[in-house]
Amino acid sequence: MKNIDLREYKGALRRESKAYRQSLPAEAKAKKDSAILRRLLALRQYQQASLVLTYVSTVIEVDTRELIRQALADGKRVGVPRCIDGTRLMEFYEIGSLDDLEKRTFGVLEPVPERCALITDFSKSICVVPALLYDLSGYRIGYGGGYYDRFLAHYPGYKVGVTYVKCIRRRILHGRYDVPVSALVTERYVNFLKSPALRRGSPRE
């Protein structure tokens, strides 16, 4: 493991996960997405949250549009990320509907700042975290931009990863400062995680 090229390692896992997701028939994906949504909505942490932070899904990701609609119907505030130009940072804005979104970075739908309020208070919130792959400890491999890594490093709330069973590995290599999610929700089960303490001076895993 000492001589492993992390960029190549993560790139191979990203390609593998994308290939699986792209191979899913639309009907099969829709069933999986619905099952994940049902399990997510049943979480005590979701039910107690007054603010739901979530990504807006692309075609290969676990669908979040229904989550957004349901959270708004449940009387919750919904926050969606917008990338800050020229940086690897993002901010969350409160939206009132999917109509408050526009296509921007990498073709992803993001909130229109002129219509939406910037969120600075994350109390009583839950964050739904995207990833291409998770492991059983809640560590993730995203798309490589580092936007969520930077946000999660300072986010105080409950973090939930949503993914398909086929996109979970027993263990993936991660850096000492990577932040795992608190729970994993799949189409088959929910896995509540106890994040391992990151030892000072521990090697990159």
101 close to 109: Cβ distance less than 8 angstroms: yes
Residue 21 has pLDDT above 50, yes or no: yes
Of 59-63, 133-137, 200-204, least confident by mean pLDDT is: 200-204
Residue 1 has pLDDT above 70, yes or no: no
Most confident of the ranges 24-28, 102-106, 194-198? 24-28
Of 5-9, 26-30, 91-95, 194-198, least confident by mean pLDDT is: 194-198
Measure the CA–CA gap between 202 and 50, rounded to whole angstroms. Answer: 37
Q: What is the pLDDT of residues 177-200, one digit of tens each?
A: 789 999 999 999 999 997 544 333
Measure the CA–CA gap between 175 and 168, rounded to whole angstroms. Answer: 18
Domains and CATH numbers, the chain: 6-192 (3.40.50.10420)
Segment 2-26 shows an average pLDDT of 91
Residue 124 has pLDDT above 90, yes or no: yes
Average pLDDT value over all residues in the chain: 92
Segment 46-59 shows an average pLDDT of 97
Token pair, residue 147, equals 């936007």
Residue 179 — left, alpha, or beta (φ > 0 → left; ψ -120 to 50 → alpha)?
beta
